[in-house]
Every structure is written in structure tokens, then in C-alpha cells.
Chains A and B, each alone.
Chain A
Amino acid sequence: MANLKLQQLTKVYNKNEIAVKDFNLDIKDKEFIVFVGPSGCGKSTILRMVAGLEDITHGELFIDNQKMNDVSSKDRDIAMVFQNYALYPHMTVYQNMAFGLKMRKQTKTEIERRVNEAAAILGLKPFLHRKPAALSGGQRQRVALGRAIVRDANVFLMDEPLSSLDAKLRVQMRSEIISLHSRLQTTTIYVTHDQTEAMTMATRLVVLNHGQIQQIGTPKEVYEQPVNVFVAGFIGSPAMNFFSGSLTASGLKIGDQYIPIPAGLLPQNSSQDIIIGVRPEDMYIESATPMFHTEIEAVELLGADTMINAGLGDQPFTARIPSSIAIEPGQTLPLSIHLNRMLFFDSQSKNRIF
């Protein structure tokens, strides 16, 4: 059990390639925190700095208030699940899980007890004497988790542990990892590029882009109050629609389309040019007093919902409507937007202003 403090953590590769910049974060004891961001944004680099596998260029790392910058990996008491599992291919499942305990000089009976306990939790008992090559992807994933949990370490680090599993197994392992965490209560940093995974697993999430923190918050905060265009577009599936438009005294102009909006729902003191964000589920069909009419270009049935592609003031968007309403491409629909859920971003800084 431990709390972590990451202070101004920075990683520079080859003298001038900045992979992570001024990363500041306090992680509380027992917390399950998720780092999410597109591939190449520096998630693994941060995790590797915490694990001691990568030198920290600037900044400080504290685990339980002890500075860790110069402590070697083996002395940090951290357990890690690697993206490609990195199992020891020449050892059996049992030996894979026992290795870390052996290195930490546990007694033979203690090793046996802990490995058997972890194997029971993860359903690995029948495979203890197999080598990793003779296991399925899901079983290897469990061995990687097992190798981490037997250690009873202070901190768990997981680097995209589910990315190579198929969709169904991924959903199952997600909830297994969550229940494992609620049972062991080990402080965990979980890294993923998959925003759905991040939203469903995190108690707090950290959204990253280009090696910098964009936003830290609960999944709900990040979804409902994204700080900028990047976060708004990255979190949520299908992604938020963005329109560039201009403000008038009593509404918005998007292309040649004018949308009247009550004054209280518009940003004040902003420059005229603005980016408007609308989630696909915040648009609806309204026959009586629609805000605009639009011609449907494409229709995609997802089950209960249907995604439609159309344009507003010549700017394309996607809307999610119930499948109970029959819609054909080419048809013209009357649409409205839930005005209180519209988000407004500065067109220069891309930060949310309202």
C-alpha cells in the first residue's frame, strides 16, 4: 500500500525529443488511476519512469514520501504487467509467478502458498506446469497478472494489459481486474489508449496528449466538462462533433445556418469566432420547432441506436437517435440540439470557455 507523488516529471530522449513534460500528479493510497491518451503520447514512458526502467530526466518521484529517482527497480517494490506480457518463456507458469518471490528470498513454503493462492484466484491451477507458449492469449494475460499479484507489492503498474485480447475477453478481464483491485486494494496505475476502458475502470483518470497532462478528473467530470477540444474529442464514443461558428447577440451562426440561443446559455466576453462541441447523443429529432433541417447522408444501425451522418452549415456531424424511428439516406430531417449541453471552445487556444 502506498501513495505516489509525481513532481514535474520530465523525460527527454536523445537530448531534444520531449516524451513527457512537467507531469504533476498525486496518487492516493489504494487508488485505481487510469492514464489514457493516443498512442505515442508518453503513457509507457511515465510508467517506466515510475518502475525505474527509464531514467527521470527532470523532476522527482516519491513513493510513500520517499524520493525514488535513484532507487533501482528491484528495490522499489513495484509489480508491473507489461503490454506484451513479457512472461519468462523458458519457465513454467508456476516458475513465472515464483520468480519474483525467489528473488526476494521468500521461503519455499511461502512461495508455494502465495503462487497457489494467486493461481486459484485467476483460474490458473490446471496450467501451473505449462510453459507460456502452450497457453492462450487470455491465459497468458492471467499469468502476467498472477506474477504481479503474488508479489504483494506496494504499487501495481499495468501497461495496456488488455490490448492484445479479443473484444469479448477484454470486457471480461476488465471487470476481473476491477474486482481484483477491490480485493487487494493495491495502489494501481493503469495505462490504456482505449477511452472506453478508461471510462469504465477509472476512479480518476488522467488524459494525456503529446507528453502533457490535459485533464485529471473522474470519468464523469472529464466527459461532461472537458477542459479543451482534445479531451472533448478523445473521450466519448462516437466522438463529439465540432463546429466552427461565430457568436451573435442572440445566437450562433454556423456556416449559413443561424441558431437562436437564449442569452444565459451563451459564453460572455468571448471573441466572436468560436468552436462549438455537441455530442452525438445530444441531438434529437423535433418536428414542431426544429433548430435546423438537414439531409441525411448515411445511416448506420448499431442496435438500439442508429448513427446518422449529415451536415450543419456545410460542416459534417454524427447524431445518435433511437432505432425505433425509421430513417433513409437522402431524407430531410428536422433536428434540434440540447442547448444546455453544448460546449464552447476558444478557437485560438482550443480551451473550453463555457
Chain B
Amino acid sequence: MDSLLNSIFSEAFLSPIWVSLKIAIIAGIIVILIGTVAARFFARKQFRGKAVIETLLMLPMVLPPTVVGFFLIVIFGKNSWAGQAITWLFDRPIIFTWWAAVIAAIVVAFPLMYQSAKSGFLAMDRDIENAARVDGASEWKIFFFISIPLASKALISGSILSFARALGEFGATLMFAGNIPGETQTLPIAIYIAIDSGNMVMAWLWVIAIVTLSFLMLLAVRVKE
């Protein structure tokens, strides 16, 4: 029993949890902000090529994580334009850093937020926004005072789902951010490594931790609906 408690409060057990939470929270906030704005934009505007852009945004949801990882490495790698710009700005490449893990989480979590938010914005009566427009509200005020409150249910469930997805991200993160304990070693990666090295106690503890967290979040979405 003592050894179990020791394990639970050990740095080795807690570190991947903190890493995962930090990454998921930062990625979650970014996804919620961009996802909400993008969803509202695409829910209201019609233009050429819209379907293609939306499909590209949704693609990470169905692609194998290794493909997402592959593209992240290609886009942000040493030889790419973006990779060189980042190296020049921060004096080091982004690959195998904590920020790489955040980017991987953003890419896979975005579609969930986007889809949920967009259905929320599409479901509302657009004349309510028009009423505010006639009432003298600017487009930003309409967004904050009308659209967001009216889509709030969809926005909250989208937020929880995308946070949970960010927390569970594995494949793309491993490829793009690596497995650096205390920096990029997230819960799912730690579990993989633990099983690989036969450390079943730690694997169990981590599995219980992530199952509990994910269960509570999905439950919250259910209750909201």
C-alpha cells in the first residue's frame, strides 16, 4: 500500500499528467478561440472554395495520426519555409519541443470544436442577429452579445470534446514532439512507454487517471445536452 501511495505522489507519475494537462489546456484555449471564430465565419459567409477549405480543416479528424505527424514534420521541418522562420525567430527548431506537442494537439482537436460550434451557429434563428443589427449593434457586439450566448450549449460541448481530444492525442505528438520526459512526454505516450518496458503498475495508474478524466468530461457533455 505504501509503495502504491509513493508511486502516486512520485514525480515520475505526476509529470506526464502535468505535461498533458498543460498542453491540453493551452491547445484547448487556442482551439476554442479559433474554432468559434472560424465556425461563425463559415456559418455565415458563402464564397467560392468554401467547401474545400472546410474539408481541409476537418481532415485531421479522419486521417491516421501518423499522417498528421508526417505533415507537421514536413510543414515545420528544418527545410520548410515555416521551419526556417521559426528557427530564425527562436534560435531553435520547433520539432521535439513542448510547443510542437501543443501544435499537434491543436490540429487534431480543432475539427471537434469547429463542427460543434458551427452546428450551434447554424441552428439559431438568423433574424435574431438581424434584429440586433437593426438595433444598432456592431458585428463584434452581435457576435459577443447574441451569437455566442445563443450557441453557448454547442460551444461548451465542443470545448469539452476538443479538450478531451487534445488530452488523448498520441501519434502525431510522438512523431512531431517526441518523448522528452517532463517536456513532451504526455500521458498517452507515458502509458505506451510503461507497457513497452513492462511497468504495469504505472501503466494502470495512468490509464485509470485518463479514463477518469475523460469519463467526467464526456459525462459533462451529456448532462449539458
Which residues in A have some Cβ–Cβ distance to B below 8 Å? 48, 51-53, 72-76, 78-80, 82-84, 86-90, 99-100, 103-104, 147, 151
Contact = CB atoms under 8 A, between A and B. Distances in A.
Interface string B119-141: 00000010110111111111001
28 contacts: A48-B130, A51-B134, A52-B134, A53-B130, A73-B133, A74-B133, A74-B135, A76-B134, A78-B134, A79-B134, A79-B135, A80-B130, A80-B131, A80-B134, A83-B127, A86-B131, A88-B128, A88-B146, A89-B128, A89-B150, A90-B150, A99-B132, A99-B137, A103-B132, A103-B137, A103-B141, A104-B136, A147-B131
A157 to B, nearest CB: 8
Interface of B is mostly: helix
Interface residues of B, number: 17
Contacts of B145: 99
B130 A82 contact: yes
Nearest to A53: B130
Nearest to A97: B135
A100 B145 CA distance: 12
A73 B134 contact: yes
Given A86-B125, A87-B128, 17 more contacts: A73-B134, A74-B137, A74-B138, A75-B136, A80-B130, A86-B128, A86-B130, A87-B131, A88-B131, A89-B150, A90-B149, A100-B134, A103-B132, A103-B135, A103-B136, A104-B136, A147-B135
Contacts, number: 63
A78 B133 CA distance: 10
Contact of B133 (A53, A83, A84, A89): A53
A76 B135 CA distance: 10
B133 A82 contact: no
Nearest to A151: B135
Given A86-B130, A86-B131, A90-B150, A100 B136 contact: yes
A82 B132 contact: no
B131 A82 contact: yes
Interface string B143-166: 001100110000000000000000
Given A99-B135, A100-B136, A104-B136, A84 B125 contact: yes
Contacts of A83: 127
Contacts of B141: 103
